[in-house]
Chains A and B, each alone.
Chain A
Amino acid sequence: MSGGDLSAFQNLSDAKVAAYLDSRSADLGLRIPESCRAGVAENLALLRDQTALFADLTDDDAPVEPFTP
């Protein structure tokens, strides 16, 4: 349950979201019920769009420190 390519995810076109869903769920061994596919794909597209708003604002190589408010 690890891995996945962040930049590939960010660059997914709408048409490729379903293919990402299939390949990522197969990699993880997480079966997506047929009745959920459309909803999951819609949420993945939204998460891709949201990720674009912050992912490039920090250095990818910077360590993640324990957070203090």
Chain B
Amino acid sequence: MSFDTAQAVTRAVREGRTTAREQAQKAIAAAKAEPFNAFTAIFEDEALVQADAVDAQLAAGVDPGPLAGAPFAVKNLFDVAGHTTLAGSKIRRDAAPASADAAAVARMKAAGAVLIGALNMDEFAYGFVTENAHDGPTRNPHDPARIAGGSSGGSAAAVSGGILPLTLGSDTNGSIRIPAGLCGVFGLKPTLGRLSRAGSFPFVHSLDHIGPFARTAADLALAYDALQGEDPLDDLSPPPADPLSARLDALAGQPLRVGVLDGWFQQGAFPEVVEALEIVADALQARRGVELTGAKAARAAAFTLSAAEGGRLHFDDLAKRALDYDPAVRDRLLAGALLPDGVAQAARRYRPAFRDEARRLFEDFDLLLAPVAPCPAPPIGQATMDLDGVPVSVRKTLGAYTQPISYIGLPVIAAPVNRPGKPPIGVQLIAPAWREDLAFAAALRLERAGVIAAHRPPIRREPA
């Protein structure tokens, strides 16, 4: 394991203190030995070829890019040329290999990062737990008896556990933010449409985002910058890039008007979650008691739109092979497929109304705070949790605070509150649309003040 940042690895590679091949070999060895069940594939041969190409470029005086030699891995719903895109499923195991890399994978490689492997997830990204019926559960590096969160659980665990410094995931309803929060790392869900989704297996086209995980805000910015750019293959047409890495110091010093979301966003939150949020709110001198009207309805709309669009996407496969799906996912997709069309239409119709509520709040605030999840990571296998005295499904409820935000596509950094020796808890740094820079400004300031930090997990010899 290595807890070196991508920045440090890249600098060392450029300065000749290590090579991209040596870094790739270390990451491959760590991925082969990792006890978290984060990886579902390791691309050893391709990784070494790519690392050698980075080293050759440096030897020839050619700049390999800002991520030169930094190892990374991707949730297994991203296309990787020559490999089958599983999306956490059984039914795609005999699908043809991808003919090209997903846009995000290609951009990371073009920036010099070296792809090491693919990572575990909830089947078809439908869940918050990464307890995959086919590939097994991904374990939380901070407590292997607990979930890593999902659906990008492998992506969070691989970074949290020191396997590599950068990973990619996807977030439809919270699937980057939840695992980042539960595993104690940084995750970025950008504005809807900011980063190209081309070549990633879809879940809910209206709500799907992709984004990076890292152990520092600066690494997160490095990956975010590498991933930006227009792409005609994504119909959301990402706008021109807005690189951040060169202006981190200026961002960290930027004044911010911050509000703490109350009401729905703290309903049922465990006491330690509220306590962690308060620490961040104090550090940013945030105004308390800010209400985002309609959040409960927005969460419900996102919940049903996901079932409806997901059910429609999988209709043909459900008709032929329903019993080959993960049972926890199958029943939800089947129910979604049976919904009347008007449900999805109504869920889409409510989006601009709720977006306008958020826009009104952002007239007074640059940034809004909310917990990532109502609780720290639950134990693996726990089906229900207590929320405000009511037993609810873990799999369906962990995203209660994330779903209203992704429903309207706002950019969010999930940041780990600095709680050494305690279970990780994350906070959402929510910015106005297209203002990822404001979320980064808060993350950098908090990190430099020691209020948020990605801790190394405790050392354990065997998973529980």
Contacts and interface: CB of A to CB of B under 8 A. Distances in A.
Contacts of A32: 322, 334
B331 interface: yes
A53 B341 contact: no
Contacts of B409: 67, 69
Contacts of A57: 294, 297, 350, 353
A28 B433 CA distance: 38
B348 interface: yes
Interface in A26-69: 28-33, 35-36, 39-44, 46-47, 50-51, 53-55, 57-60, 62, 64-65, 67-69
Contact of A54 (B338, B347, B352): B347
B339 A9 contact: yes
Contact of B339 (A4, A39, A69): A4
A57 to B, nearest CB: 6
A47 B312 contact: no
Interface in B345-377: 345-353, 355
B341 A4 contact: yes
A55 to B, nearest CB: 4
Nearest to B192: A69
B331 A43 contact: yes
A5 B341 CA distance: 8
B345 A33 contact: no
A1 interface: yes
B449 interface: no
A39 B192 CA distance: 32
A64 B349 contact: yes
Contacts of A33: 322-323
A15 interface: no
A51 B337 contact: no
Contact of B341 (A3, A46, A68): A3
Contacts of A36: 322-323, 327, 330-331, 334
Looking at B334, B336, B396, B433, which has the most chain A CB atoms within 10 Å of its CB?
B334
Interface string B291-321: 0001011101101100100001001001100
B410 interface: yes
Interface residues of A, number: 43
A33 to B, nearest CB: 6
A69 B433 contact: yes
Contacts of A30: 315, 318-319, 334, 337-338
Nearest to B358: A69
B340 A58 contact: no
Interface in B402-460: 408-410, 433-434
Given A30-B318, A43-B331, A67-B409, A58 B338 contact: no
Contacts of A42: 331
A25 interface: yes
Contacts of A69: 191-193, 355, 408-410, 433-434
A67 B206 contact: yes
B59 interface: no
A47 B345 contact: no
A53 B343 CA distance: 11
B342 interface: yes
B343 A9 contact: yes
B323 A28 contact: no
B332 interface: yes
| Interface hub of A24, A41, A42, A51 (most chain B Cβ within 10 A) | A51
B335 interface: yes
A48 B237 CA distance: 34
A44 B410 CA distance: 29
Given A47-B303, A64-B348, 11 more contacts: A5-B342, A6-B346, A28-B338, A30-B337, A30-B338, A39-B327, A43-B334, A47-B336, A54-B346, A64-B345, A67-B355
6 contacts: A8-B340, A30-B319, A40-B335, A55-B346, A58-B349, A60-B346
